[in-house]
Chain A
Amino acid sequence: MPLHYIVLIICLLLLVFLCRKEWMRPNRKRLAARLLASLLAVLSLAYLILPIGKERQVTPAKTVFQSIDTPTGITAIYWPRQISAGSALQVQGLFNNKGNHPVKLLLSGFNERLDSVTIPAQQQQSFIFNTRPKQAGRALYSLIAVAKDTIEKETIPLEVVPLKPLKVLLLAAAPDFEHKFLAGWLSQNGYMVAARTAISKNKYSYTYLDTTRFPLEQLTPALLNAFDVLVADAGALAALNARELAAIRTQVADKGLGLLVKTDSGAVRNFYNQPFPLTATADKSERPVTLQLAGTTAMLRMEAPVYITSTPGTQALVTDAQQHILAGSSLYGSGKLVNTTLHTTYSWLLAGNRESYQNLWSLLLQKAARTKPHTAQWFIGTALPRVRMPVTLRLETSMPQPTATINGARLSLAQDAVLPFQWQGVYWPMQAGWQAAVAASGDTCHWYAFDERAWQPIAVGEQQHRGSITAAGADASTLPEIYIVILLLLALTFLWVEEKMV
């Protein structure tokens, strides 16, 4: 505010000075015109300096039809707004380069350049950036397009949510390295692991990592209910009595427990390996096999591999180069079954190949794990929410009458006519930045509202698709600055020319 006053005072003084000069001139011709021109000049100068009329209440931006070619810049973009810790961030998009110079696209965060790509001149090209975010919580990454100077600078908001460790129960028919290393790896990362390993007839060894002791002699429904995944080898499952097996079966089918079975060709057929018929190879020799899992490849030495035959309803998780399936998953009731024939993955850990081990077991356990119940889930209806534009927010909850607030302001929700658990509301973000959406339960969902000028090429493209374009900031209520500049120039020109004419 003090700036306003200073500018106003200076302008007033200037006006008084100019008027006095004009008044004191002996030649009194066109005095009124000169005074008017001085007044206009000072007024327009003040208007240009002060942000008059630029702070406005929320008013909808006007849409005007305007036909423009696809502009230079990022014309499409996608990245997940929220990832869990340890996952990779992948930013995919399309860049339209109409200029005569190649454009370099840079993904940076925390003052570090994370990834870059160069788009040749006069081309439209897609790009993919990969990085593994290291922070926990919210952060703003940036995407910059540079040719000779910066063409576009955009914000990539990203929230990294901390992991919720799984609870894993291990059953083994004999002590082996595979189980030992799996339990060790999980407990190192803060996962709760309980293991029961048969060491002789009716003799078991018990392991409790990151948990207190509890009886594991009998697998009861209450016990199974406390775990997210049950990892067992086929031998251990075959050795279970009928009551235990039935308990596991109901847990998987009705309660969604994940069952990960390390199967082999000699296993008895039962519900847990029914969808996974096996074929053994004739070649028993040991050889390196290239495994393809979740977009990555890893080399593992295997002796006499056993393959899972593909059947309708199963999904291949791990295959070799010839598309033989080595791990697959299938639905069973509300739970999931995962079968794998890999038995020597611990050799990766021994060889120092932690990355492949983590990739494989993350994939298998994640596929099997019981889904975590949420009382409420938010979905943001607009891909790139902007300030001063309506954003549709959808809430999925089982609460009968949910109330929600955004940035402390209450959001009115309307129930969906067909899906009774869906609620919908519209919010107008006022300020660019993180917005906090809170359903009544108390956990906050953060989403980001962009500046009006952010992702301009995408906005132009979108509007053009609908046959109209948003002229951001060009409201009828405010005069464009160019008119003021022209007025100032006219007034000054008049004052100058008038003096010469005398």
Chain B
Amino acid sequence: MLDAKIPAGDLNSKWTSYKDHCKLVNPANKRKMEVIVIGTGLAGASAAAALGEMGYKVKAFCFQDSPRRAHSIAAQGGINAAKNYQNDGDSVFRLFYDTIKGGDYRSREANVHRLAEVSGNIIDQCVAQGVPFAREYGGLLSNRSFGGTQVQRTFYAAGQTGQQLLIGAYQALERQVALGNVKMYNRHEMLDVVIIDGKARGIIARNLVNGELERHAGHAVLLCSGGYGNVFYLSTNAMGSNVTAAWKAHKKGAYFSNPCFTQIHPTCIPVSGDHQSKLTLMSESLRNDGRIWVPTKQNDTRKASEIPEEERDYYLERRYPAFGNLVPRDVASRAAKERCDAGHGVGTSRQAVYLDYAAAIERYGNIEAGKKDMHNVDPAAIVSMGREVVKEKYGNLFDMYEKITGENPYELPMRIFPAVHYTMGGLWVDYELQTSITGLYSLGEANFSDHGANRLGASALMQGLADGYFVIPYTIGNYLADEIRNPTPSTDDAAFVQAEKEVADRINTLKNINGTQTVESFHKRLGKIMWDKCGMARNAEGLTKAIEQIRQLKEEFWRDVKIPGDINEMNWELDKANRVADFIELGELMCMDALDRKESCGGHFREEYQTEEGEALRDDADYMYVASWEYKGNHNWDLHKEPLEYEVVKPTQRSYK
């Protein structure tokens, strides 16, 4: 039975009470405790830095050439915090409530409330580190709106918020490296977790420069390895983002929760051809000012500029007047798909909708004219002034769009379409962020805990930093306090020898297949199966078929994959083969989970379960649980259900109308 270890007491006092009563490790003992951190994104870098500052000995690993390159760096729009600086009625409770509702009532109240409680501390900490958030002329912090909320609580640094937050965490991490508290292992990939006497005690890592396998021992292991969106091949994730660390832990006994909960982001640059290697996000912040529309007529091939106002369907504003263009991501994505499926898509592929800035440019231009007390202004001058304002707010995003598409978004509406962006599912963790393996923790996107079936914008950065800076420093002590008598295990222990052998055998097997098809070709095929049958809309027939196809793909992969080069050298194809092999297995589990969940909620939309208006139809009586899967061998998993109990919020049908 899964025990989430939620502290007793009322919701407001749980975290305070936990902190007041958890065990502590004294400074002399902290120096003797070693913690291994996998991944250096916001969760990993902040955890490694914070634990180093506390005096623990930390070993941090990343597969990139520097910890600063982790994919958190690409987050654009912002980070939420319940500061109420805008005096618009925000509070810890409202942030908590919006996040629970946004997640379609499939996340834990206690975890989410804690997240909202520490959100303000994150902003303070980042400011102290020198994160240059956007400011108003008075020198105070600026905010903007994001989807699924009616207050302005998003802090930002132009369209590069993730970069600035990660650089802050990276610098804090490098400071600990300089002080000797953290040892950094760049270009290393974790390929297994080592378990001794039922506790995570180390890892096997591959040095990606020379191919050597290394054993690293510690008192605890933190997996901060990000999400698994690349199972779809095309996603907004970085090319190297992968599930391998989490998947290895899963196969060693860590439960994997809600794998089918994936987030399809509504505003990405559409696919342009078969060569496409990844998709690029256009920040949700663009929906603050942009208006989304399609032609009212089906199969309308006219240019956007030739379609008069009365023949444009601003379908989000029409369907959801209360939230308009700022409905949550799952709702906006499905609405775009619905319009395109109904024949209203635009662009050569007809798989796109318009995101139009003309109205915003005019509005801002008029405001500027008003500020300068200008009257009877030439419309061209209004547009010019408006463009300057838009450029200051979103300039880098507009530039990026132009580089990729070759079109000028100040003149033409942008074409956008939904794309895989984030995965709410992940390793099961309890309130302390510990997985079902003792001593193995998971932080940030790699765990499942805070976003339910749909994540609200600007909440991923908040969760990554909350877990790393403000949660794990307390909860890990509660475990390590009982480990102070145990020295770091020897890497000659039989468990290390065995784990290394298994990793080496797998690499040898892969390399010796000597087949005829590239790793990339398998990854593309997996991605197509997943996108077609386990993407924005799913049904029992498609999922059943997908499971069958993925099983065949797995068999074919292990019989016919072709990997060039040698094992004992830098070999990106081999690294990728290792990752794709794990994605294939994960894909099967995602489809099983999606098939098993006979309801629609958040990003999981089962076509069989929808309201008359085409909205997601939840089944709280039968599915208000966390689906946690235990690996039992090839194609075989056991399902464990952790019931979700709502003590404060009363689940209702989510409405953004």
Interaction A to B: no
Residues of B at under 8 Å CB distance from A? none
Residues of A at under 8 Å CB distance from B? none
